[in-house]
Amino acid sequence: MRCHLCLNISRQFLCENCLNTILIPNPSKRVLDSGLIVYAAYNYLDIKKFLHTKHTYYGAKIFAQLTKHGLLPLVKELTYKGIYSLPIDDHTRSGYSHSAIIARELRDVLKPLYGKLRAKNKIRYSGQNLHVREKNQRDFIFTCKKKLDVVLIDDIVTTGNTLNEANITCKKNDVNVLFAITIANTR
């Protein structure tokens, strides 16, 4: 197979050379209006091309590589033992769940809680404006034990509505959200 950036022969969809020279993580910290802190490994515009692979058969592999390369070192710095990762709405669409892929790649640092935070509203926000996002809340259902320390996981933070709504749902269910992590931040 060939690297999707340089087109050289590679065992992965992104070769080591491109990961280490072109796709250098640019960690950022963003505080949402609700006070929730969101850490991201990359700027959205820097990896937009790869984030748009999320509805393709090879998107899962690219998301896994971006997580290992960009998020894993960041999460190792920010966490301690006994913390759980809570992928947001990890329902399988397009063959896999983006947030579940991220949680799986971070499993050595954060213990994943799969299928515990699901949206009742199945509207897709991809490409939608703020008005549509605010009008159609996710309406999350939380199904897990209480009194946990968790890190929320999503692929991209745009407006922050999804992360804020997930944070509110967790608080209502007596779950302590330490912060959220995403692969990319749009700001």
End-to-end CA distance of the chain: 33
What are the pLDDT digits (tens) for 10-51? 999 999 999 999 999 999 999 998 899 999 999 999 999 888
Provide the residue count of the chain.
187
Provide the number of structural domains found in the chain. Answer: 1
Q: Are strands 28-31 and 37-43 parallel, antiparallel or unpaired?
A: antiparallel
In this prediction, residues 170-177 reach a mean pLDDT of 92
Residue 48 lies in a domain: yes
pTM of the full structure? 0.87
Compute, in degrees rounded to 10, the torsion defined by CA atoms 40, 45, 47, 51.
90
Residue 145 lies in a domain: yes
Distance, CA of 154 to CA of 113 (rounded, Å): 13
Q: Show the 3-state SS of 119-150.
A: ECCCCCCCCCCHHHHHHCCCCEEECCCCCCEE
Based on its alpha-carbon atoms, the radius of gyration of the chain, rounded to whole angstroms, reads: 16
Residue 139 lies in a domain: yes
Residue 14 lies in a domain: no
Residue 89 lies in a domain: yes
Expressed as residue numbers, the domain containing 145 is 25-185
Residue 152 lies in a domain: yes
What are the pLDDT digits (tens) for 44-76? 999 998 888 877 878 889 999 999 999 999 898
What residue has token string 């605010």?
134
The proportion of the chain whose per-residue pLDDT surpasses 90, expressed as a percent, equals: 51
Residue 5 lies in a domain: no
Residue 13 lies in a domain: no
The residues, any chain, with a CB within 8 Å of residue 135's CB and separated by 6 or more, are none
Task: Give yes or no for a contact between 163 and 152, defined as CB atoms under 8 angstroms apart.
Answer: yes
CATH of the domain at 157: 3.40.50
